[in-house]
Structure 1
Amino acid sequence: MTATSATRTDAGTTPHRPPRGLLELIVFVVGTASLGAEIAAARLLAPWFGASTIVWANTIAITLVSLSVGYALGGRLADRNPTLSGLARWVLASSVFFAAVPFLAAPFLRQSVRAFAEYSGGLFLGSLVGVGAMIAVPVLMLGVVSPYAVRLKVDAVEDTGKTAGRLYAIGTIGSLTGTFGATLVLIPLVGSQRTFLVFSLLLALVSVPALRGPARVLGIVVTTAIALLIVVPPGTTKTVTDAGRVIDEAETEYQYARVIESDTGTRVLELNEGQAIHSIYRPDDYLFGGYWDAMLVAGFASDTRPTDVAILGNAGGTVARGLTHYFPDVRVDGVELDDKVSEIGREYFGMTSDRITTHTADARPWLQQSDRTFDNIMLDAYRQPYIPAYLTTREFFEVTRARLNPGGTVTVNVGHVPGNDRLEKVLTATMRAVYGEANVWRDPVDDTNTVLLATTSDADPREQLREADLPADVRPVADTAADRLEPGLDGGPVYTDDRAPVEWLIDASFAAVAE
């Protein structure tokens, strides 16, 4: 039975002839929406669970399972009601569910994070439930389309293979269009919320010509409502904060960022889930305690005074601003993957010194391709729970050593859950494989941050810090850091580019704390 004859049966004595090629267009748009929505869903999850391979694996798994269930259901439905209007009703229903996703995501995920933090702490389960609740139902509905379309399009049994192959090819081209359209165009230009709404609108638009009677009227109403939602400005992603008021926020190509200003004028930069402060600013202050101060002085724990400093993961430039304020001879190259974060640093965090040069680049490729050498290389790119594995390996630290001047140092900010030192031990062992057993030191700054220091000098870093010529404001910071410094922890495997299971390490640490 063809699509045309099917709609004639459905319409009774008044045949309804949909536009030629409409079925193929529906299949293409459904393919576009299914993969585009997967990309957009991962972006919705990132502010709450990060963007690690575990989160991506869960997103892909939920999408595949939902599509599989939809395929099975679609075959049954097509046999029971082989009409184009019957198929279009499923497409219209999926558009409604997709339109609801971005509005339900934030409150649901906020509660999900709180629940799992309090009871299980499982990143894996949290992200799985989050993705499942958001996209499983509408993706399942889209899965109905492929077998339904094959059933409607097949004219004769001997044409089944050719027809099915053609429709699946059209759907796959649609999926590619949705993947690259969402990644390269929609999310950067209009954000995750409107990306979902654009896909919802496309689904509603292609379903309307195939609907009849009251169903078509409903389709027109749904299409109009979704179009109106697209022009509504997205709300603040996370409006509840005890730290102050949100004075700027942005959904960038890589993450969600917001600037919060307290009643006292202190500004902080939060990224993604907001469980950590990545930069801090007060107009007349350059020391803030915590790991920022430890990173600022760590480069002086050598017999070479640092003048050329590279900061990998510069964020809003808190440490860079402090270095260029206290040390007029210091030049800083700040490497930050996200150019929007660098803009925020210049606008809100005082990163305006002409001795700070910012680079929009990924840390390791930038360092590998650079022909510069430095006195101190700082790594502050570990943002739990999404730590780039390629920044934890022996090969990476070999690159850092190759870019150091004689007597140079590498300092690494290691964030961790309280009481868990597994990541620190792994990094210590990996750094020792490059810098030597006696040349890796730890500064346990607080319960959640340890600064690791690797030196290329045989001098005792504690003595170097105590003897360094420093401004009066910085001297107590250096003395305190020297008192904390101790040899690195023993234990832990050496990570390599071939094997660096950092995601499992981090997720296990969260689960262990919650037990």
Structure 2
Amino acid sequence: MTQTSASTSRTTSTGDAPHRPPRGLLELIVFVVGTASLGAEIAAARLLAPWFGASTIVWANTIAITLVSLSVGYAIGGRLADRNPTLHGLARWVLASSVFFAAVPFLSAPFLRQSVRAFSEYSGGLFLGSLVGVGAMIAVPVLMLGIVSPYAVRLKVDSVEDTGKTAGRLYALGTIGSLTGTFGATLALIPLVGSQRTFLVFSLLLALVSVPALRGKVRVLGIVITVAIAVLVAVPPGSTKTVTDAGRVIDEAETEYQYARVIEADDGTRVLELNEGQAIHSIYRPDDFLFGGYWDSMLVAGFGGGTAPQKIVNLGSAGGTVARGLTHYFPDVEVDAVELDDKVSEIGREYFGMTSDRITTHTADARPWLQQSDERFDNIMLDAYRQPYIPYYLTTKEFFEVTRDRLNPGGTVTVNVGHVPGNDQLEKVLTATMRSVYGEANVWRDPVDSTNTVLLATTAQEDPRDQLRAADVPPDVRPVADDAASRLEPGLDGGTVYTDDRAPVEWLIDASFAAVAE
């Protein structure tokens, strides 16, 4: 069996001088390609997360795109290797993949923003089309990387007897590279330089290892591409537009979990948008503490129990709109503000007035924090979303059993249920699950507006409407409490009880959006 080995190359028909790549270069290419393929999968999921969250569905789609692309690449790579069994031929594909990898974070941004716009408008076709566009951009460079594995085996095998050993060694090397890319992206690159530069770093590595195997003018092109990518790595990532329809962007950040920005209107009103404006998570005006909507309902809902709340925990406090209102109107109230994203809490302190010494912030995940806490509370407020999803482990019977165990006698649990207009499936599920813990008659609903319903569960036997009307609240808050009492009604029937073992909340929410988009 005669073929060109990885360490030699033929003189081209155009008269290029014989080119002998460095020893071990093929193995290095295989390792770097493995690093880039899985590292890019992590970076791709990170790229999508600020717009679509990091649910199991998003991860499943990202993994599926990667696996399908690699499979197609394997099939194509075998054919290409038989037609042109040279390291130069292989390196051209690696160089091409580096160019596509460098382009992904820049070309995907318009598609992602269009997807979010369609998502907020419930335009299913546009949403899916934009998402497919992003998937295609990720798929192309990964497909090119898939070409490398069979190509490398074809170049490395010297005899049929060595095929199994050679293939096994190369695939092991590629897998080690994949592990390196996975942990390198997760533990180092994304936290240190961000998702955009993570793509660029992998792109630069691919270009660097391809250049020594290239020849003639293609090698010169490879050097130019490598230098260009290196420059892009050095350039700070671009920011979003500084002016929106809602006002001026006065701060923005890509945090560990999401993209956050603060927008200030001409009248001084500030809003906190997460993930490109799918929802407003906090609102602020310097001399105002009531803003309508579910914030006001959450402010007074705790008075629906048997006691006036003094010790409150806000799970998912965001910029602290409700916590700020509570400590302003009720001088005896203490609030534990639990927020997973410490940058969001920092934004709350800097821009949204979450500065009271009676607000204690905790950077933690809601359920683990509550489970580990020894405190007892008069009111547990839940408003934890990574739009459009609520974490499944905050929708289960086991979670609400934890809330009941952490309540003082007569205490309440209030849950903000975000939903698309006209769809109450998530509310029904949460109602049924809360009833399984608090009892059939102890779960109530406040249909605040078309996209938010506040659920109230209480350990007290009194009618929460009477409690709200009788609550000792400041004059400014009296109309808010009366309005909430007039809206309050028994919870809806018809939901399924979710458990830690089975809580398909992502399916439920996706189905609700699909139903509206039809």
> What is the TM-score with the length of structure 1 in the denominator?
0.96
TM-aligned CA distance change 1:498 to 1:96, over 3 Å: same
Partner of 1:496: 499
For the 8 Å contact 1:52–1:385, the answer to whether it is kept is no
Letter in 2 for 1:492: G
Q: Which amino acid aligns with 2:329?
A: Y
Amino acid at match of 2:310: T
Q: Which digits, 9 at most, give the CA deviation of each residue in 1:450-491, with x for residues without a partner?
A: 000000000110111111111111111111111110000011
Aligned mates of 1:413, 1:123 — CA distance in 2: 29
Matches within 5 A, 1:110-125: 110-115=113-118, 120-121=123-124, 125=128
2:242 maps to 1:231: no
Q: Deviations over 1:319-363 (max 9, x none)?
A: 111111111111111111111111111111111111111111111
The code of the aligned residue for 1:49 comes to F
Superposed displacement of residue 120, structure 1: 4.7
Aligned CA distance change for structure 1 residues 313 and 115 (closer, same or farther; 3 Å) = closer
Could you say which residue in structure 2 is the equivalent of 1:220? 223
Alpha-carbon distance change, 428 to 115 in structure 1, aligned in 2, over 3 angstroms? closer
> Are 2:405 and 1:402 aligned?
yes
| Structure 1: 5+ residue stretches without partners | none
Structure 2: gaps of 5 or more residues: none
Q: Given the alignment, which residue of 1, 6, 9 partners 1:7? A: 9
Aligned equivalent of 1:141 = 144
Q: In 1, Cα distance between the equivalents of 2:329 and 2:500? A: 38
SS of the residue aligned with 1:395?
helix
Taking the TM superposition and a 5 Å limit, the aligned residue runs for 1:234-383 are 234-237=237-240, 241-383=244-386
Change (3 A) 1:320 1:122: farther
Distance 2:459 2:125 in 1: 39
Residues 12-66 of structure 1, C-alpha deviation per residue, up to 9 Å, x if partnerless?
A: 8944221221111111111111111111111221232222211111111111111
Q: Which residue of 2 aligns with 1:439?
A: 442
Residue 111 of structure 1 and its aligned partner are, at CA, apart by 2.4
- Corresponding residue for 2:414? 411
CA distance in 1, matches of 2:28, 2:137: 26
The partner residue of 2:77 within 70, 74, 79 is: 74
Contact 1:408 1:455 in 2 (8 A): yes
TM-score scaled by structure 2?
A: 0.96
- The question of 1:426 aligning with 2:449 is answered no
Amino acid in the other structure paired with 1:268: V
1:342 counterpart letter in structure 2: S
Equivalent position of 2:50 in the other structure: 47
From the superposition, tell whether residues 271 and 117 of structure 1 become closer, same or farther in structure 2 (CA, over 3 Å): closer
Counterpart AA for 2:55: S
Structure 1 residues 28 and 392: CA distance shift in structure 2, 3 A: same
Q: Secondary structure at the match of 2:303?
A: coil
- 2:306 counterpart letter in structure 1: D
Alignment of 1:53-64 (within 5 A): 53-64=56-67
Instruction: Describe the shift of the 1:479–1:126 C-alpha distance in structure 2 as closer, same or farther (beyond 3 A).
Output: farther
Q: Which of 85, 97, 100 is residue 88 of structure 2 equivalent to?
A: 85
Note the C-alpha offset of 1:292: 0.6
Distance 1:294 1:5, change over 3 A: closer
Q: Distance in 2 between matches of 1:310 and 1:328?
A: 16
The structural deviation recorded for 1:118 is 5.5
User: Could you say which residue in structure 2 is the equivalent of 1:202?
Assistant: 205
Q: Check conservation: 2:113, 2:276, Cα contact below 8 A.
A: no
Structure 2 residue corresponding to 1:101, chosen from 80, 93, 104? 104
Q: C-alpha displacement at 1:374, in angstroms? A: 0.6
Contact 1:384 1:416 (C-alpha < 8 Å) held by counterparts: no
Q: RMSD of the alignment, in Å? A: 1.8
CA pair 154-189 structure 1, distance change in 2 beyond 3 A: same
Q: Residue 280 of structure 1: SS of its match in structure 2?
A: strand
Q: Indicate conservation of the 8 Å contact 1:48/1:272, yes or no.
A: yes
1:38 aligns with 2:41: yes
